[in-house]
Amino acid sequence: MTADPTPGLEVLDITVRFGGNTAVEGVSLAAPLGRITGLIGPNGAGKTTTFNVCSGLLRPSSGSVSLFGQDVSHRSAAARARMGLGRTFQRMELYGSLTVAANVLLGYEARAAGASPWRQAVTSRKQRAQAAAVVAEALELCGITDLADRNVAALSTGQRRLVELARVHAGGFRFLLLDEPSSGLDHAESERFGDILRQLVENRGVGILLVEHDMALVMRVCRYLYVIDFGVPIFDGTPDETRQSDIVRAAYLGDEEHGPDVVGTVGVEA
Domain locations in the chain?
A: 1-84+173-270, 95-172
Fold type of domain 1-84+173-270: Rossmann fold (3.40.50)
Residue 206 CA to residue 141 CA, distance in Å, equals: 14
Residue 2 has pLDDT above 50, yes or no: no
175-179: strand order across its sheet: 85-87, 175-179, 207-211, 36-40, 224-229, 232-237
The residue that leads in pLDDT, 3 or 110, is 110
> Which residues on neighbouring strands pair with residue 210, listed in sequence order?
38, 178
Residue 207 CA to residue 57 CA, distance in Å, equals: 20
The answer to whether 60 and 11 are in contact (CB under 8 A) is no
Residue 136 CA to residue 3 CA, distance in Å, equals: 27
Axis-axis angle for helices 100-115, 157-170 (nearest 10): 30
Query: What is the reported pTM?
Result: 0.84
At residue 242, the pLDDT reads 95
pLDDT band at 120 (very low <50, low <70, confident <90, very high): low
- Sign of the torsion formed by the C-alpha atoms of 162, 262, 31 and 17: positive
- Nearest CA to 232 out of 24, 57, 76, 35 is that of 24
The answer to whether 150 and 180 are in contact (CB under 8 A) is no
Task: Please write the tens of the pLDDT for every residue from 166-206.
Answer: 998 898 899 999 998 888 888 888 998 999 999 889 988 99
Residue 197 CA to residue 210 CA, distance in Å, equals: 10
- Mean per-residue pLDDT of the chain: 86
Lowest-confidence segment of 147-156, 159-168, 211-220, 245-254 by average pLDDT = 245-254
